[in-house]
A and B are shown apart, each in its own frame.
Chain A
Amino acid sequence: MLVCKDITKSFGGLVALRGVSLEVKKGEIVGLIGPNGSGKTTLFNVICGIYRPDRGVVYFKEEDITGRKPYEICRLGIGRTFQLVKPFKTMTVLENVMTAILFGRSKFITMTEARKQALKWLDFVGLSGMKDKVAGELGIASLRLLEIARALATEPELLLLDEVMAGLNPVEVSRVGDLIERVRSDLGITIFWVEHVMRAIMKHADRVIVLDRGEKIAEGTPKEIAYDEKVIKAYLGEPYA
């Protein structure tokens, strides 16, 4: 479904991504991990069209989407949450999701219909009680659920989750983890997931890709990754390898 070939991106002198190639197949939950600064969010930004790579191509469903505008990519079927949540602060939770529905899809939809569907999505993630609250007042757990609801509302085929568990307590982590499983099983959405909370990734991901300093250093099942020498070296340093 998603194929990245040889993605390279630098910012001035800093090389953020160096020849990264990977593939995400339909129906998978693929995790993307790596130490801080390894280029995970940059890769997401390249896929979503926020950055244009210096070299390399991004294919989505066999189509070349490299360097297209973010709103075009959204309409093609890729949804994304942000690492630092970006809600529309002066709008209510319901309006946040409605906006995503009205603009994020390629088909036209009326306002009343959009409202109904927005309520349905809020129900799915468990935010129905907060639908009329202004987004700027929400706590981090609700904001993360809102991000997911908004991304889902654009009816993506591929969902990019960027550190969606950051700042959550253990109870919230398992709730969101179950939600992500439901997204895959109930909605059939492929998930590509950057995360630091290891136990969530290890529990839910089919496959894990590891980046370090802009390069892909390992790929495999969670178990294989946990014992991979290069991964341990990247995270913990040489003595532990």
Chain B
Amino acid sequence: MLRAEVYWKSLLLAIPIASLASAPFLLKSAYFVHFFSLLFLFLALASAWNILGGYAGQVCLGTGAFFGIGAYSMMLSLKANLPLYASIIAGGIAASCLALLIIPLFRLRGIYFAIGTLFLPDIIRTFVLYFSDVTGGAMGIYLPLIRDPLFAYTFLLAVSVCTILVTHFLVNSRYGLAMRAIRDDQDAGEMYGINATKLKTMCLLTYAFLCGLAGSGYALYMGFLDPYTVFHLTWSIAPVFMCIIGGQGTIWGPIVGSIIYVVLSEQLTFIVGELHLLVFGGILIAVILLAPYGIVGALKRLSSNFVRGWKACSYAKT
């Protein structure tokens, strides 16, 4: 990219980010803070999942484990009197450590990584329940600080912006090429010098760290954690849902997907009440089968088809 382009694009990005950052102070609406905090949380999770699942092609069905371990690690670090920012980072690090244990799963091709991660949230939850004197067990654990929604909001905004920037730089770098190469044909990629396992591990650790940070943000926001909520299946399904609906392997996909998810979760509860998860599942299945590239993906394909058709027409005229 040219220098001028970089400056211009950064400015374009800085405006919405600055306005979002300052909005709660200007608007003073608790609902605004609540809605957007949730949005940023889910956006961070979706973008992080997108790195591993959308670009590197490794579907992870156990996001709740990394998210939850990040949340609990932050809580426990605070209780151990670590400073705030160190505790937050500790959340990310703990999730990465968990990810390190999963690395041998990359030896298995395809979907076996997915089912290996499927039960991770349940395993971690059992450990949290087992060591209940430390973690509060089923009764939950409270934040030892005064709950500050604005701080949580800003932090979650920072995390989601960070995640998207990481995705952007990763995808446009040499590693982005390597990830797409591995996704298209792993054997060919290895033959041309790409260490597939190292690459997947890199993506996994990045994803885990970011999920751990998101977990810390959640803990900051809620002020309270309990093992059944934090390790629930929803946290594992939500990123999958958001990325598939929005479009895997694109930067805008998770953004679109998370907006749809958060808006739908609120609205559906009004419309169908108890069955909103059923509708979610149904939408997920429908999108997988009928529109596998998601909204952004479909738009990209439509536009490239359109451009090609246009070019073909202009060649025909001459």
Contacts and interface: CB of A to CB of B under 8 A. Distances in A.
Chains A and B touch each other in the complex, with CB atoms below 8 Å apart: yes
B103 to A, nearest CB: 16
A99 B178 contact: yes
B194 A99 contact: yes
B174 A91 contact: no
Interface residues of B, number: 19
A91 B193 contact: no
A82 B183 CA distance: 18
Contact of A102 (B177, B187, B196): B177
A111 B174 contact: yes
Contacts of B184: 87-91
A52 B123 CA distance: 37
Interface stretch (A66-74, A179-187, A200-208, A223-231): A66-74
Given A50-B187, A87-B185, A90-B184, A103 B173 contact: no
Q: How large is the interface on A (under 10, 10 to 19, 20 to 34, 35 or more residues)?
A: 20 to 34
A105 interface: yes
Interface in B163-209: 173-174, 177-178, 180-181, 183-185, 187-196
Contacts of B177: 91, 95, 98-99, 102
Contacts, number: 76
A143 to B, nearest CB: 12
A91 B187 contact: no
B70 to A, nearest CB: 32
Q: Give the 6 A-B residue pairs with the shortest CB-CB distance, closest first.
A: A104-B193, A103-B193, A86-B188, A88-B184, A70-B190, A100-B192
Nearest to B183: A90
Contacts of A40: none
Interface in A129-168: 150-151, 154
A69 B191 contact: no
A151 B191 CA distance: 9
Interface string A57-100: 00000000000011100110000101000111111000110111
Given A88-B180, A90-B184, A91-B184, A103 B174 contact: yes
Contacts of A87: 184-185, 188
A88 B188 contact: yes
A29 interface: no
Given A86-B187, A102-B174, A91 B192 contact: no
B193 A74 contact: yes
A105 B184 CA distance: 21
Interface of A: 48, 50, 69-71, 74-75, 80, 82, 86-91, 95-96, 98-100, 102-105, 111, 114, 150-151, 154
Nearest to B185: A86
Contacts of B193: 71, 74-75, 100, 103-105, 154
Given A50-B187, A89-B184, A154 B174 contact: no
A89 B180 CA distance: 9
24 contacts: A50-B191, A70-B190, A70-B191, A71-B191, A71-B192, A71-B193, A71-B194, A71-B196, A74-B193, A86-B185, A87-B184, A87-B185, A87-B188, A88-B181, A88-B184, A89-B185, A99-B178, A99-B181, A99-B194, A103-B192, A104-B193, A105-B193, A114-B174, A154-B192
A88 B195 contact: no
A80 B189 CA distance: 12
Nearest to A70: B190
B174 to A, nearest CB: 5
A48 B187 CA distance: 11
A69 B189 CA distance: 12
A111 B175 CA distance: 11
Nearest to A134: B304
Given A88-B189, A91-B177, A91-B181, 4 more contacts: A71-B196, A88-B184, A99-B178, A100-B192
A69 B195 contact: yes
A48 B178 contact: no
Contacts of B185: 86-89
Nearest to A50: B187
Contacts of A103: 174, 178, 192-194
A91 B180 contact: yes
Contacts of A96: 181
Nearest to A109: B174
A69 B190 contact: yes
